[in-house]
Structure 1
């Protein structure tokens, strides 16, 4: 049994892992996705400005820094397991995952944000392996698209941004969107329409794929939404931004948690939820004056971590020691100066 289980590997969860380690607590971090960083992964290439002391930089850089920091005190990080329930058993908490595994701790910090973001996928049938090689629901390193013919499908600002970014390196970009759902500004569309590398195609959707070698995409069938006519275009890879669905298995119809808008966990000034020993931080938490910013997630994480330490060891100090004189940080040669 560990001192604390942190549910969620976004900014709040990752910083909680660091700060709990700083306070000498043993930590398990459980993340439902197969990667860390939370919703920062939704806009990896977008510059982030709301972290104090850091000039605007791509979200992927922030993710890398958060992970490196979180690993300072060697927490156990468990990926690809969705937490579905938390039960109190005597003086411990039993955290249950979707694969029927149980994990035990003295306290819990919920850092799930508003839940796992599950991308809305294409209706078309295709090999699952394509999702790591030819069909992407998240923007990988833009260099992957260099000199390729890329199709971007989506009717939102993110899809427009992806098309613009990819056009910098791609041979050609097809931008597929539904005119009635288009949520980007007319300026955004004008920018794409005047880009020599981008061809905008409205009111069509992806319906089929063909492959010449059964290993890669050769062409995509587009079907008109109204007259159902179709055409085939040769492409190398496809980017899809059709929105996301939120899923947080801890939010149930019958729950002991005091919730705000059936989405957020209400916490007191110690970061504790309505269930003693369970804390919340980041976008998962709610309190008067709450601002949903990355910077505030760090504040929530510190508060929750210090409260966990005090609950486990009432004689402990109110806060952790972060300085060049911290013996454990000195051992790990942390870049603190």
Structure 2
């Protein structure tokens, strides 16, 4: 006998985790499927970065924020399938869905697509032999800033992430170089201004052409660069290299039903502000969804998630309330609230 869930959420980032929490609040049977080995979505890639722009939350690192997201998202014990790629899905005659993965098959009354920008893989440095340094001093993300303390660091890339890393590392590294292909970096305005004010040595119109190992043969010691305005390649001595050239997106799942769902040429769902898509019972939230008034912030992902869940609830239970009750008035939190109050009273005593 097949086990049918009320809602299956494809994606375990901020939008997916908040969808799971809000679905539990609305007393739905929930499942999360994520291709990554861990929950957290793209936030996993920035464990050391400080997040300031989530309402009511003091500045916190990506790693701390991810842990809190997971704790909240798993509050109502959803089923979780990690390291699992959804390969296709079909809407059945009764309006429910069958979801095929690279491991097994799942059944659900509704589906919320919350896979962010798709399956995210950092774009690798297109230089011969670069892969042999990935276990030593070539990085596509930064797990710990302390590793770079006092070192000569080269950051390659002109987008938001590269600019952010150059700024974050500038007070920590001994010397920092920033190379990018265009005349100007294309990061957020305030971060680019901060970059220009700081000690970072910038090399516009420049690309990495070769990585040279040191005497041990294991680590990069010299980076060979070519610059549009310089006829001969030149070298920089480095201790660490950080490459942030963007991410490769796997949008195959959406492309299978591009016309039915309503997918743009650049691979996002052109849906309603309430999370609806061109397929009844299939909803979307987070970076994967574009609509009028869309806010591409984590706060916007939470808003999308709540809307998608409310729509899913009404899809499977047409007589259900349009919106879930706020947590302060929801009986599902009564016992937990009493425990929290008791703990605080004990601390005050």
Asked if 1:169 is matched to 2:172, the reply is yes
What is the alpha-carbon distance in structure 2 between the residues aligned to residue 183 and residue 288 of structure 1?
24
Structure 1 match to 2:69: 66
What is the alpha-carbon distance in structure 2 between the residues aligned to residue 199 and residue 265 of structure 1?
40
Task: Give structure 2 stretches of 5+ with no counterpart.
Answer: 345-349
2:219 aligned to 208, 212, 217, which one? 217
In 2 relative to 1, CA 231–128 (structure 1 residues): closer, same or farther, beyond 3 Å?
closer
Structure 2 match to 1:323: 328
1:264 aligned to 262, 265, 268, which one? 268
In 2 relative to 1, CA 295–149 (structure 1 residues): closer, same or farther, beyond 3 Å?
same
Are the counterparts in 2 of residues 48 and 57 from structure 1 also a CA contact under 8 Å?
yes
User: In the TM superposition, what whole-angstrom CA distance separates every residue of 1:127-157 from its partner, at most 9, and x where no partner exists?
Assistant: 8585465322223231232243322222345
SS of residue matched to 1:54: coil
Asked if 1:307 is matched to 2:311, the reply is yes
Are the counterparts in 2 of residues 9 and 31 from structure 1 also a CA contact under 8 Å?
yes
- Residue pairs, 1:4-23, within 5 angstroms: 4-23=7-26
Higher strand share: 1
Task: Give 1:109 deviation, angstroms.
Answer: 0.5
What is the alpha-carbon distance in structure 1 between the residues aligned to residue 172 and residue 34 of structure 2?
33
In 2 relative to 1, CA 94–213 (structure 1 residues): closer, same or farther, beyond 3 Å?
farther
In 2 relative to 1, CA 269–151 (structure 1 residues): closer, same or farther, beyond 3 Å?
closer
Are the counterparts in 1 of residues 167 and 194 from structure 2 also a CA contact under 8 Å?
no
In the comparison of the two structures, how many residue pairs are matched? Answer: 330
SS of residue matched to 1:14: helix
Task: Give 1:252 deviation, angstroms.
Answer: 1.5
What is the alpha-carbon distance in structure 2 between the residues aligned to residue 47 and residue 122 of structure 1?
26
- Residue pairs, 1:95-174, within 5 angstroms: 95-97=99-101, 99=102, 101-126=104-129, 130-131=133-134, 134-174=137-177
What is the alpha-carbon distance in structure 2 between the residues aligned to residue 229 and residue 299 of structure 1?
50
- Residue pairs, 1:75-90, within 5 angstroms: 75-90=78-93
What is the alpha-carbon distance in structure 1 between the residues aligned to residue 72 and residue 99 of structure 2?
25
Bigger Cα displacement from structure 2, 140-149 vs 312-321: 312-321
In 2 relative to 1, CA 182–106 (structure 1 residues): closer, same or farther, beyond 3 Å?
same
Structure 1 match to 2:289: 285
In 2 relative to 1, CA 129–100 (structure 1 residues): closer, same or farther, beyond 3 Å?
farther
Structure 2 match to 1:207: 210
What is the alpha-carbon distance in structure 2 between the residues aligned to residue 125 and residue 139 of structure 1?
22
What is the alpha-carbon distance in structure 1 between the residues aligned to residue 108 and residue 132 of structure 2?
37
In 2 relative to 1, CA 187–6 (structure 1 residues): closer, same or farther, beyond 3 Å?
closer
User: In the TM superposition, what whole-angstrom CA distance separates every residue of 1:160-197 from its partner, at most 9, and x where no partner exists?
Assistant: 331232232233333333454643678555434xx2xx
Structure 2 match to 1:31: 34
In 2 relative to 1, CA 131–165 (structure 1 residues): closer, same or farther, beyond 3 Å?
same
SS of residue matched to 1:292: coil
Are the counterparts in 2 of residues 122 and 206 from structure 1 also a CA contact under 8 Å?
no
In 2 relative to 1, CA 157–325 (structure 1 residues): closer, same or farther, beyond 3 Å?
closer
RMSD: 3.5
Are the counterparts in 1 of residues 153 and 238 from structure 2 also a CA contact under 8 Å?
no
Bigger Cα displacement from structure 2, 315-324 vs 20-29: 315-324
Task: Give 1:65 deviation, angstroms.
Answer: 2.0
TM-score between the two structures when normalised by the length of structure 1: 0.80
Asked if 1:183 is matched to 2:186, the reply is yes
Task: Give 1:125 deviation, angstroms.
Answer: 4.5
Task: Give 1:253 deviation, angstroms.
Answer: 6.6
Task: Give 1:272 deviation, angstroms.
Answer: 2.9
Asked if 1:247 is matched to 2:241, the reply is no
Are the counterparts in 1 of residues 112 and 308 from structure 2 also a CA contact under 8 Å?
yes
